[in-house]
């Protein structure tokens, strides 16, 4: 990235600066190109739209970016590069799509798996010394546990250890794992980067040219290239990431504090609260605490479902990272049964916080 701040880079980078050309790089709806030309086929060589998106995202992490058709396509590209009989370390409760990849590979004998408590820094440091892949998701979904990235990513490595961080919840504005020693960062750009709940997109970022070439080849073979319209919408959404995140995480902090004092709530999990178990770790390297939080209602699971059904402004929906606030009871999702039955995950949007609180108040009453 140039000397610009990230906030300026999001808006000013990856623009057409040729006389007579449109200011914004438009979606290029093309599968092939007239020859001779450096581009042969869009699945192989991308388009001007994907080039612009990769330039913007790479600049945020001072790395090279590869964009994919979804966050899962990006994550799968990292896992499927492992050799047979590898050992991997993952959180105890990873994203359910990643959990599916891990369980399938384990059942097929492709790799051995350590499932670690994200807050157990010593266990992760041990994994870095001996595992082939260390996969962190931080802040963690849905308990919002923040891994001690400086300690883990900076720990002494085994000979072939690859440290990868799913940084979706934090976004590139709140933490930079590559600066702390990680090899790979993954984002589901479907979420905060795209920001409008209208696309699927993902990316991996690395400063290792050999890894970049390997992932690009795997993206080509697996047909995981992003579509033209999705690339354009991700690029357009990313322009306002800083503005959206500033508002959303301010709302998240305010709501977390109000929820903590509500008699209908037993516990609030947000890294920005001093009550969160990993707050002290988070504040050492995160520049913001994000717009995701969880809380546990009083009563039982039916009570939590009732709260989800009673909201009027807040959207009872899955996924996250849009301008609108969404909430869902996580333990009813297949594979998430170990989550406390009264836990509700909240993706805080950009609405007026008092309107959001009024909706919560009537739903919790």
Positions annotated as catalytic residues are 43, 95, 166, 191
Decide if 218 contacts 200 (C-beta within 8 A): no
Residues in the chain: 365
Nearest CA among 184, 192, 153, 159 for reference residue 74: 184
Burial class from Cβ neighbours inside 10 Å (0-12, 13-18, 19+) for residue 209 reads exposed
**Can you tell me the distance from the alpha carbon of 13 to that of 4, in angstroms, rounded to the nearest whole number?**
10
Distance, first Cα to last Cα, the chain: 49
Asked if residue 170 has a cis previous peptide bond (ω within 30° of 0), the answer is no
**Can you tell me the distance from the alpha carbon of 170 to that of 156, in angstroms, rounded to the nearest whole number?**
25
Decide if 190 contacts 162 (C-beta within 8 A): no
Q: At a CB cut-off of 8 Å and minimum separation 6, what does 238 contact?
A: 10, 53, 56, 57, 189, 193, 194, 195
């Amino acid at each position: 990235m140039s000397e610009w701040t990230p906030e300026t880079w999001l808006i000013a980078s990856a623009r057409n600066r040729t006389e007579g050309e449109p200011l914004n790089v438009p979606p290029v709806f093309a599968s092939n190109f007239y020859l001779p030309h450096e581009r042969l086929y869009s699945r192989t060589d991308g388009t001007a739209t994907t080039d612009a998106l990769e330039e913007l995202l790479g600049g945020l992490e001072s790395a090279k970016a590869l964009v994919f058709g979804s966050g899962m396509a990006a994550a799968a590209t990292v896992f499927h590069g492992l050799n047979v009989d590898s050992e991997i370390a993952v959180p105890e409760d990873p994203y359910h799509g990643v959990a599916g990849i891990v369980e399938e590979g384990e059942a097929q004998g492709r790799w051995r798996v350590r499932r670690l408590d994200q807050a157990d820094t010593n266990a992760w440091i041990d994994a870095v010394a001996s595992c082939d892949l260390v996969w962190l998701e931080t802040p963690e979904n849905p308990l919002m546990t923040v891994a001690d990235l400086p300690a883990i990513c900076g720990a002494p490595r085994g000979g072939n250890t690859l440290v990868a961080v799913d940084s979706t919840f934090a976004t590139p504005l709140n933490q930079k794992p590559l600066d702390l020693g990680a090899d790979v960062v993954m984002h589901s750009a479907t979420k905060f980067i795209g920001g409008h709940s209208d696309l699927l997109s993902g990316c991996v970022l690395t400063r290792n040219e050999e890894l970049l070439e390997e992932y690009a080849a795997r993206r080509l073979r697996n047909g995981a290239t992003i579509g033209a319209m999705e690339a354009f919408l991700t690029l357009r959404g990313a322009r306002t990431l800083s503005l959206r995140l500033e508002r959303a995480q301010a709302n998240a902090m305010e709501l977390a504090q109000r929820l903590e004092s509500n008699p209908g709530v037993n516990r609030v999990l947000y890294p920005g609260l001093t009550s969160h178990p990993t707050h002290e770790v988070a504040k050492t390297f995160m520049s913001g605490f994000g717009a995701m939080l969880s809380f546990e209602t009083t009563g039982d699971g039916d009570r939590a479902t009732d709260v989800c059904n009673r909201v009027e402004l807040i959207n009872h929906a899955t996924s996250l990272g849009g301008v609108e606030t969404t909430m869902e009871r996580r333990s009813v999702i297949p594979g998430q049964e170990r989550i406390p039955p009264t836990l509700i995950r909240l993706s805080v949007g950009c609405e007026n916080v008092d309107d959001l609180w009024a909706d919560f108040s009537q739903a919790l009453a």
